[in-house]
Amino acid sequence: MRKTLTALSIALALASGQVMADQNTVGALRSAGIALTPAQTQALATAEGEALVAAIAAVVAANPEQAAAIVAAAVQANPAQAAAITGAAVAAAPAQAAAITSAAVAAAPAQAAAITSAAVAAAPAQAAAINAAAAAAASTASTGSADGGGAGGTTTTNNASTPGGSGGGGGTASGS
């Protein structure tokens, strides 16, 4: 009896953990403002691995104008699947290949090379645009934002003509 209860408890815990993980993808897409049909929600919530990648690609195919937002949210929720998600999304909406790649690289910059390779493999005719988008997204991700000064970025301020806080007028900077 005790073994049966233990086995049931373990099975329930494992099943609920998987459902929670799949719900993270649904939650991430909804948080990104992606409207999902009940069928899409069900497919995403019950899928895992390659089936999850296919379900995300189906959402991209149904909403190509939101492909970048869909991929960004999906990659953030499933970073280990970043390259597979990107490749499937680009195959589903090749006209959006550059935007999809940029969003995926921004969401998982450590996987930029794998993401870019998957995107180029899915849409070789878009290789130049994909590579340019990936490079721009990787550059932005490494500086924190397009404006610079974000986490990990560098902001340079020229104080040569800014009045000093200890009196004195600032004036010209001496070469030091």
Of 89, 73, 91, nearest in space to 24 by CA = 73
pLDDT of residue 173 exceeding 70, the answer is no
Q: What is the dihedral of CA 115, 118, 122, 126, to 10 degrees?
A: 50
Of 140, 115, 141, nearest in space to 130 by CA = 115
pLDDT at 141: 74
**Higher-confidence position of 170 and 86:** 86
pLDDT at 155: 39
pLDDT confidence bin for 146, thresholds 50/70/90: very low
pTM: 0.70
pLDDT at 23: 87
Give residue-wise pLDDT tens across range 89-102: 999 999 999 999 99
Give residue-wise pLDDT tens across range 2-52: 555 444 445 444 444 444 446 899 999 999 999 999 999 999 999 999 999
**Higher-confidence position of 82 and 17:** 82
pLDDT at 98: 97
pLDDT at 62: 97
| Residue whose entry in the numeric block shows the structure tokens 């930029």 | 112
Phi-psi region of 168 (alpha: psi -120 to 50; beta: other; left: phi over 0): left
| CB atoms near residue 48 (< 10 Å) | 14
pLDDT at 152: 39
Give residue-wise pLDDT tens across range 95-139: 999 999 999 999 999 999 999 999 999 999 999 999 999 999 998
